Structures are given as C-alpha cells and as structure tokens.
Amino acid sequence: MADTHNIITPDSFDPDGPQQFATEEEAAKFALEQTTARAHAGDPAAQYALALAILHFGDFPRKEETAIMWLKRAAAAGHVPSKLLLKDL
C-alpha cells in the first residue's frame, strides 16, 4: 500500500523534497502543469520543454503551430536549442 502521507498535490509541492504520486499519470500531469506554468512565466527552458511535449506527446490542438510559438519565445530569450529546432521545423 502506498504511503499517502507523501502524495503531492499542487498545494503541497516542495521542489526540494522527495516526490511521490499515486500514479504515473498523475506525476506526468503534474509535471506538465508545472512546466506550462514556468513557460507562461517566461522560463526559456520550460518553453522549450513544453514545445517538445506538444510535438511528441499527446493530442494537442494546432500541435505544430503551438510548439513553434513556444520555441520562438524561448529562442527570442536566447535559448540555443530552441533556435536550432526552429530551423528544422
């Protein structure tokens, strides 16, 4: 039986503490939510990670268009991997 004492919710997230989730799906959803929040806050690495997630995982509307938008934001902030990926798209 899982130790429910350490199960994370958005309100209890501690970036420096040990992380446990009830399921892998919950962990993935939480990671995507955190990455999306950081991307919206202007973090170029998160914008790049979100673009990759959009391109390669799940069913997102306007998939390529949305990923390119995030890559352009990251590239504008000087994120080199984003600049390189944009050249390939």
Burial tier of 27 (Cβ tally within 10 Å: 0-12, 13-18, 19+)? middle
Give the per-residue pLDDT at 27. Answer: 84
Whether 14 has a pLDDT exceeding 70, the answer reads no
In a domain, 7, yes or no: no
DSSP code of residue 16: T
Does pTM surpass 0.85?
A: no
The SS3 call for residue 42 is coil
Domain total in the chain: 1
Q: Which domain holds residue 35?
A: 24-88
**Spatial distance between the Cα atoms of 18 and 58, rounded to a whole number of angstroms:** 27
In a domain, 18, yes or no: no
Whether 30 has a pLDDT exceeding 60, the answer reads yes
**Spatial distance between the Cα atoms of 7 and 19, rounded to a whole number of angstroms:** 7
In a domain, 84, yes or no: yes
